[in-house]
Structure 1
Amino acid sequence: MKNFSSQDIQELSKYYRANLINSVTGYKPANLIGTKSADGKTNLAVFSSVVHLGANPALIGMIVRPASVPRHTYENILETGFYTINHIHEAFVEQAHFTSANFDKTDSEFDAVKLTAEYISDFHAPFVQESKVKIGMKFLQEMPIELNGTIMIIGQIEYLILPGEIIAEDGNVDLSAVKDVCVSGLESYSQVGKLAKFEYARVRNLPEFN
């Protein structure tokens, strides 16, 4: 067994430390965030920090890295107030990964990796046509995290688009049915598979564990 102290972690190389700490927290959702600037330039970026914040109202958060360098996704969200969250599937995982390259703001990652920008109704931000689970978001709040300079973006769901057949009667979504992927570390992607579904946990229905 390896045993890392906080001092040991600080002394690791930057790349090794980033991979270690990013992957040790477990599998994370793999999403593409779609935005468009006020002057019409589209942007697409892979994010693994999307998290459910609440269902009523329907809020989703995500962490944006420090704005010490240009962050096109963050800039576009603040500028326009809208963005999309698009699930990544096995069919285009490599294309999705390479949206993380350092493109100029004038270059569209949609074009660079050959994914299709799709617009729904009058919603400003582009969706990924190839994604089967897409969420249109309205920006509500940003919360700076002073400890490391990152920023939590909080938004509310304006559109939710997904195949009806993957939604169970109780509202649960079977993401394995659309071949979702998840991410660990900075560059490793894994398949999503359904393991089990249990009843709502109450003290009175606690099983007899051995």
Structure 2
Amino acid sequence: MISVLLVAVFAAVVAVAVMVFGGGGSDATADGQGGEDLVVRENSHRLDTAPGEVTLVEFLDFECESCLAAYPVVEQLREDYAGQVTFIARYFPVEGHFNGQNAAVAVEAAAQQGEFEAMYQQMYATQTQWGEQQTSMAELFREFATDLGLDMDAYDSAVADPATLERVLADRDDGLALGVQGTPTFFLNGEQLTVGSAEELIAAVDAAVNE
């Protein structure tokens, strides 16, 4: 189960995000104009795939402190609801985070070699080292790729390929069309959640699983 400390940290950081980003958007649901197709694309990155209908989608920015606070909560949910919930991560680099887009491109380049989750985890594990910098950290991200044992020629080509950035921005564009205003923003079964604490996220997932 998720510790009281994690709940408190998540709540405190998300409270700041609510003030800055307006709580990640409205309570609008993704329906009516193909909205559900925007929440989950065929090429969306799945951290876990479950046979049931419960799907939790997170629009995230790897440089976002609120996303870092949410990360262990999502990881614990993945453990607690393994085989019951499909977990999907989508890119939403936020303006003002100098390396948010660079990080997403690095993760997408790793994903092209089947290492999305490993690079995703590495970004959060090291965010305090590279976040809030005003110079490119692309070389550090390249070191992460080397540590993961990636084919570096392929990685470098992917990072330089405009299609890799286009893939990242396609996620962001879907988020904007859905009303995402900040990160993290969660969609549960196609409906945008307004989450003010870890407890609220956990309760929403639990209710969906036990419907």
Give the TM-score of the pair, scaled to structure 1.
0.27
Larger Rg: 1
Structure 1 or 2: more helix by fraction:
2
Structure number with the bigger relative contact order (C-alpha 8 A, sep ≥ 6) is 2
